Protein backbone atom coordinates (compact mmCIF):
# COMPACT_ATOMS: atom_id res chain seq x y z
CA UNK A 1 0.00 0.00 0.00
CA UNK A 2 1.27 3.45 -0.80
CA UNK A 3 2.23 5.65 2.12
CA UNK A 4 -0.80 7.83 2.78
CA UNK A 5 -2.45 9.36 5.83
CA UNK A 6 -5.15 7.59 7.84
CA UNK A 7 -7.41 8.15 10.81
CA UNK A 8 -8.33 6.13 13.89
CA UNK A 9 -11.92 5.03 13.23
CA UNK A 10 -14.67 5.87 15.70
CA UNK A 11 -18.12 4.27 15.36
CA UNK A 12 -19.83 7.64 15.81
CA UNK A 13 -18.09 8.78 12.61
CA UNK A 14 -19.25 5.78 10.61
CA UNK A 15 -21.42 7.54 8.04
CA UNK A 16 -18.93 10.32 7.34
CA UNK A 17 -16.04 7.84 7.25
CA UNK A 18 -17.67 5.52 4.71
CA UNK A 19 -18.66 8.49 2.55
CA UNK A 20 -15.23 10.15 2.64
CA UNK A 21 -13.59 10.03 -0.79
CA UNK A 22 -10.31 11.76 0.06
CA UNK A 23 -7.41 10.27 -1.84
CA UNK A 24 -5.44 7.69 0.12
CA UNK A 25 -7.59 7.82 3.27
CA UNK A 26 -7.41 4.67 5.39
CA UNK A 27 -8.70 3.72 8.84
CA UNK A 28 -7.30 1.92 11.85
CA UNK A 29 -9.24 0.08 14.55
CA UNK A 30 -8.48 -1.84 17.72
CA UNK A 31 -9.38 -5.46 16.93
CA UNK A 32 -10.48 -5.95 20.56
CA UNK A 33 -13.49 -3.73 19.83
CA UNK A 34 -14.62 -6.12 17.11
CA UNK A 35 -14.09 -9.46 18.82
CA UNK A 36 -17.77 -10.39 18.76
CA UNK A 37 -19.58 -13.20 16.99
CA UNK A 38 -21.78 -11.07 14.77
CA UNK A 39 -24.09 -8.08 14.67
CA UNK A 40 -23.77 -4.41 13.80
CA UNK A 41 -20.18 -3.89 14.97
CA UNK A 42 -18.81 -6.37 12.49
CA UNK A 43 -21.25 -5.20 9.81
CA UNK A 44 -19.92 -1.66 10.26
CA UNK A 45 -16.32 -2.79 9.85
CA UNK A 46 -17.32 -4.85 6.82
CA UNK A 47 -18.85 -1.75 5.21
CA UNK A 48 -15.85 0.40 6.11
CA UNK A 49 -13.34 -1.94 4.59
CA UNK A 50 -15.19 -2.10 1.29
CA UNK A 51 -14.66 1.67 0.93
CA UNK A 52 -11.24 2.15 2.56
CA UNK A 53 -8.06 0.20 3.44
CA UNK A 54 -8.05 -1.00 7.04
CA UNK A 55 -5.34 -1.50 9.64
CA UNK A 56 -5.69 -3.55 12.87
CA UNK A 57 -3.88 -2.14 15.90
CA UNK A 58 -4.03 -4.54 18.83
CA UNK A 59 -3.85 -3.58 22.49
CA UNK A 60 -4.48 -6.95 24.11
CA UNK A 61 -1.83 -9.49 23.13
CA UNK A 62 0.47 -8.52 26.03
CA UNK A 63 3.60 -9.49 24.09
CA UNK A 64 5.97 -8.65 26.95
CA UNK A 65 5.42 -11.81 28.93
CA UNK A 66 7.02 -15.16 29.57
CA UNK A 67 3.58 -16.62 29.18
CA UNK A 68 2.73 -17.32 25.54
CA UNK A 69 0.00 -15.23 23.92
CA UNK A 70 -3.51 -16.22 24.97
CA UNK A 71 -4.62 -18.77 22.39
CA UNK A 72 -8.26 -17.72 22.39
CA UNK A 73 -7.31 -14.07 21.91
CA UNK A 74 -4.89 -14.96 19.14
CA UNK A 75 -7.55 -17.05 17.39
CA UNK A 76 -10.03 -14.16 17.55
CA UNK A 77 -7.36 -11.87 16.12
CA UNK A 78 -6.68 -14.34 13.33
CA UNK A 79 -10.40 -14.53 12.51
CA UNK A 80 -10.51 -10.73 12.12
CA UNK A 81 -7.30 -10.66 10.07
CA UNK A 82 -8.59 -13.41 7.77
CA UNK A 83 -11.98 -11.74 7.36
CA UNK A 84 -10.98 -8.08 6.98
CA UNK A 85 -7.58 -8.48 5.31
CA UNK A 86 -5.97 -5.39 6.89
CA UNK A 87 -2.95 -3.96 5.10
CA UNK A 88 -1.10 -3.92 8.39
CA UNK A 89 -1.42 -5.58 11.82
CA UNK A 90 0.34 -4.06 14.81
CA UNK A 91 0.80 -4.52 18.56
CA UNK A 92 2.77 -2.89 21.37
CA UNK A 93 6.08 -3.39 23.15
CA UNK A 94 4.27 -3.67 26.45
CA UNK A 95 2.21 -5.95 28.68
CA UNK A 96 -1.34 -5.53 29.89
CA UNK A 97 -2.33 -8.95 31.22
CA UNK A 98 -1.07 -10.56 34.40
CA UNK A 99 -2.66 -13.43 36.34
CA UNK A 100 -5.82 -13.29 34.21
CA UNK A 101 -6.36 -9.59 34.88
CA UNK A 102 -6.40 -7.15 31.97
CA UNK A 103 -5.01 -3.82 33.14
CA UNK A 104 -6.33 -1.58 30.37
CA UNK A 105 -2.98 0.09 29.81
CA UNK A 106 0.34 -0.59 28.06
CA UNK A 107 2.71 -1.30 30.92
CA UNK A 108 6.51 -0.93 31.18
CA UNK A 109 9.26 -3.47 31.91
CA UNK A 110 13.04 -3.75 32.19
CA UNK A 111 14.51 -4.44 28.76
CA UNK A 112 16.64 -7.41 29.84
CA UNK A 113 18.09 -10.18 27.67
CA UNK A 114 15.54 -12.64 29.02
CA UNK A 115 12.72 -10.19 28.28
CA UNK A 116 14.04 -9.91 24.72
CA UNK A 117 13.91 -13.71 24.37
CA UNK A 118 10.34 -13.78 25.70
CA UNK A 119 9.04 -10.97 23.46
CA UNK A 120 10.79 -12.34 20.35
CA UNK A 121 9.22 -15.73 21.02
CA UNK A 122 5.75 -14.19 21.41
CA UNK A 123 6.12 -12.22 18.20
CA UNK A 124 7.17 -15.44 16.42
CA UNK A 125 4.09 -17.25 17.74
CA UNK A 126 1.82 -14.39 16.71
CA UNK A 127 3.28 -14.10 13.22
CA UNK A 128 3.16 -17.88 12.78
CA UNK A 129 -0.51 -17.94 13.76
CA UNK A 130 -1.50 -14.97 11.60
CA UNK A 131 0.65 -16.08 8.68
CA UNK A 132 2.09 -12.58 8.29
CA UNK A 133 4.47 -10.18 9.98
CA UNK A 134 3.27 -7.68 12.55
CA UNK A 135 4.52 -4.23 13.50
CA UNK A 136 5.58 -3.47 17.07
CA UNK A 137 5.00 -0.02 18.56
CA UNK A 138 7.23 1.83 21.03
CA UNK A 139 5.38 2.66 24.30
CA UNK A 140 4.87 5.90 26.25
CA UNK A 141 6.94 5.72 29.42
CA UNK A 142 6.19 7.44 32.72
CA UNK A 143 8.78 5.92 35.05
CA UNK A 144 12.46 5.01 34.80
CA UNK A 145 13.18 1.39 35.64
CA UNK A 146 16.44 -0.34 36.57
CA UNK A 147 17.74 -3.51 34.93
CA UNK A 148 17.81 -2.54 31.27
CA UNK A 149 20.34 -4.44 29.12
CA UNK A 150 19.24 -2.49 26.02
CA UNK A 151 18.15 0.98 25.05
CA UNK A 152 14.60 0.87 23.66
CA UNK A 153 15.77 1.43 20.08
CA UNK A 154 18.31 -1.40 20.43
CA UNK A 155 15.64 -3.66 21.87
CA UNK A 156 13.26 -2.91 19.00
CA UNK A 157 16.02 -3.34 16.41
CA UNK A 158 16.93 -6.69 17.91
CA UNK A 159 13.28 -7.81 17.72
CA UNK A 160 13.24 -6.83 14.05
CA UNK A 161 16.43 -8.82 13.43
CA UNK A 162 15.27 -11.92 15.29
CA UNK A 163 11.60 -12.12 14.30
CA UNK A 164 11.40 -10.21 11.04
CA UNK A 165 8.68 -8.00 12.54
CA UNK A 166 8.32 -4.39 11.43
CA UNK A 167 8.10 -1.28 13.57
CA UNK A 168 5.31 1.17 14.21
CA UNK A 169 7.04 4.41 15.18
CA UNK A 170 4.69 6.30 17.51
CA UNK A 171 6.18 9.78 17.47
CA UNK A 172 3.89 11.07 20.20
CA UNK A 173 5.06 8.22 22.45
CA UNK A 174 8.71 9.01 21.65
CA UNK A 175 8.09 12.67 22.49
CA UNK A 176 6.34 11.80 25.77
CA UNK A 177 8.96 9.24 26.87
CA UNK A 178 11.82 11.58 25.90
CA UNK A 179 10.27 14.40 27.89
CA UNK A 180 9.46 12.25 30.95
CA UNK A 181 12.73 10.28 30.97
CA UNK A 182 14.99 13.06 29.66
CA UNK A 183 16.41 11.91 26.34
CA UNK A 184 16.53 13.44 22.86
CA UNK A 185 13.49 12.37 20.80
CA UNK A 186 15.12 13.27 17.46
CA UNK A 187 18.17 11.13 18.28
CA UNK A 188 15.82 8.25 19.20
CA UNK A 189 14.02 8.52 15.86
CA UNK A 190 17.36 8.83 14.01
CA UNK A 191 18.47 5.51 15.51
CA UNK A 192 15.38 3.50 14.49
CA UNK A 193 16.10 1.13 11.57
CA UNK A 194 14.51 2.96 8.63
CA UNK A 195 13.61 -0.06 6.54
CA UNK A 196 11.70 -1.68 9.42
CA UNK A 197 9.36 1.26 9.98
CA UNK A 198 6.12 0.42 8.19
CA UNK A 199 3.73 2.82 9.95
CA UNK A 200 3.86 6.03 11.98
CA UNK A 201 1.44 7.22 14.67
CA UNK A 202 0.86 10.77 15.80
CA UNK A 203 -1.56 11.87 18.53
CA UNK A 204 -2.19 14.43 21.24
CA UNK A 205 -0.88 14.37 24.82
CA UNK A 206 -1.46 16.45 27.93
CA UNK A 207 0.60 17.74 30.86
CA UNK A 208 -0.06 16.11 34.24
CA UNK A 209 -2.73 18.17 36.07
CA UNK A 210 -0.40 18.70 39.03
CA UNK A 211 3.14 18.50 37.69
CA UNK A 212 2.56 20.23 34.37
CA UNK A 213 5.00 19.51 31.55
CA UNK A 214 7.38 17.68 33.90
CA UNK A 215 5.11 14.70 33.34
CA UNK A 216 3.42 14.33 29.95
CA UNK A 217 0.52 11.89 29.62
CA UNK A 218 -0.44 10.06 26.45
CA UNK A 219 -4.14 10.98 26.40
CA UNK A 220 -5.04 10.88 22.70
CA UNK A 221 -7.47 13.54 23.85
CA UNK A 222 -6.27 16.69 22.10
CA UNK A 223 -4.93 17.79 18.75
CA UNK A 224 -1.42 16.67 17.78
CA UNK A 225 1.16 18.99 19.40
CA UNK A 226 3.49 21.13 17.26
CA UNK A 227 6.72 19.44 18.43
CA UNK A 228 5.22 16.10 17.35
CA UNK A 229 4.47 17.52 13.89
CA UNK A 230 8.09 18.73 13.74
CA UNK A 231 9.37 15.28 14.67
CA UNK A 232 7.14 13.75 12.00
CA UNK A 233 8.77 15.97 9.36
CA UNK A 234 12.15 15.09 10.81
CA UNK A 235 11.55 11.33 10.59
CA UNK A 236 9.93 11.48 7.13
CA UNK A 237 12.88 13.43 5.73
CA UNK A 238 15.19 10.57 6.76
CA UNK A 239 13.09 7.51 5.90
CA UNK A 240 10.74 8.80 3.21
CA UNK A 241 6.97 8.35 3.12
CA UNK A 242 5.24 5.77 5.34
CA UNK A 243 1.56 5.34 6.29
CA UNK A 244 0.84 7.97 8.97
CA UNK A 245 -2.09 7.65 11.37
CA UNK A 246 -3.73 10.39 13.42
CA UNK A 247 -5.04 8.79 16.64
CA UNK A 248 -7.80 10.24 18.80
CA UNK A 249 -9.55 8.34 21.60
CA UNK A 250 -10.79 10.96 24.08
CA UNK A 251 -12.73 14.24 23.62
CA UNK A 252 -13.55 13.04 20.15
CA UNK A 253 -14.49 15.93 17.86
CA UNK A 254 -16.44 15.92 14.61
CA UNK A 255 -15.06 13.78 11.79
CA UNK A 256 -14.30 16.91 9.73
CA UNK A 257 -12.04 18.38 12.38
CA UNK A 258 -10.06 15.14 12.67
CA UNK A 259 -9.76 15.16 8.89
CA UNK A 260 -8.05 18.55 9.11
CA UNK A 261 -5.25 16.93 11.12
CA UNK A 262 -5.23 13.93 8.81
CA UNK A 263 -4.87 16.27 5.82
CA UNK A 264 -1.93 17.98 7.49
CA UNK A 265 -0.26 14.56 7.80
CA UNK A 266 -1.00 13.95 4.10
CA UNK A 267 0.65 17.28 3.34
CA UNK A 268 3.75 16.28 5.34
CA UNK A 269 3.88 13.05 3.32
CA UNK A 270 3.49 14.88 0.01
CA UNK A 271 6.55 16.96 0.88
CA UNK A 272 8.76 13.86 1.01
CA UNK A 273 7.31 11.92 -1.94
CA UNK A 274 10.02 11.11 -4.49
CA UNK A 275 10.09 13.99 -6.99
CA UNK A 276 8.38 16.39 -4.57
Partner 1 sequence: MSDLAKFQEAFALALRGQAGSACNAGFAADTPGFAVYKNNFTKASIDALVANYPTIERLVGSEWLGACAHAFLEVCPPSSPILADYGAGFADFLDGFEPAADMPYLGSVARLERLWFEAHAAADAEPMSVAALPRDGEGLAATRLRLHPSVRLAFFDQPAATIWRLNRPPADPSDDDLAKIVWRAEGLLLVRSGGEVRSRVLSAPDHRFLSLCAAGEPLEGCATGALERDPTFDVAALLADLFELETFAASPATSPLTGDN
Site of interaction with partner 1 (CB under 8 A): 32-33, 35-43, 59-60, 62, 64-66, 73, 95-105, 107-110, 112, 114-115, 118, 142-143, 145-147, 180, 208, 210-211, 215, 217
Q: Smallest gap, in angstroms, from Cβ of residue 127 to partner 1?
A: 19
Nearer to partner 1 (CB atom), residue 42 or residue 125: 42
Q: Tell me whether residue 80 or residue 197 sits nearer to partner 1 (CB atom).
A: 80
State which residue, 2 or 213, has the beta carbon closest to partner 1. 213
Give whichever of 39 and 275 is closer to partner 1, judged by the CB atom. 39
- At its nearest, how many Å lie between partner 1 and the CB of residue 258? 20
Written in H, E and C, the secondary structure of the chain is CCCCEEEECCHHHHHHHHHCCCCCCEEEECHHHHCCCCCHHHHHHHHHHHHCCEEEECCCCCCCCCCCCCHHHHHHHHHHHHHHCCCEEEEECCEEEECCEEEEEEECCCCCHHHHHHHHHHHHHHHHHHCCCCEEECCCCCCCCCCCCCCHHHHHHHHHHHHCCEEEEEHHHHHHHHHHHCCCHHHHHHHCCHHHEEEEEECCCEEECCCEEEEEECCCCCCCCHHHHHHHHHHHHHHCCCCEEECCCCCCCCHHHHHHHHHHHHHHHHCCCCCC
| CB nearer partner 1, residue 103 or residue 161 | 103
Rounded to a whole number of angstroms, the minimum distance from the CB of residue 2 to partner 1 is 31
Smallest separation, CB 132 to partner 1 (Å): 20
Q: Give me the least distance between CB of 32 and partner 1, in Å please.
A: 5
Amino acid sequence: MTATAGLGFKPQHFEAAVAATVDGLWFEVHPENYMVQGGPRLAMLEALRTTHPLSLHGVGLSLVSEARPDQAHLRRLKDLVDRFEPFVVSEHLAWSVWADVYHGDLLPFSRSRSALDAVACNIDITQECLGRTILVENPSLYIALPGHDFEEVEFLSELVRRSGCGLLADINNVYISASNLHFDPAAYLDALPATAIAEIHIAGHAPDPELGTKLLIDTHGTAVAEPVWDLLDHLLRRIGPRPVLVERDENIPEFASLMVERDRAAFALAAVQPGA
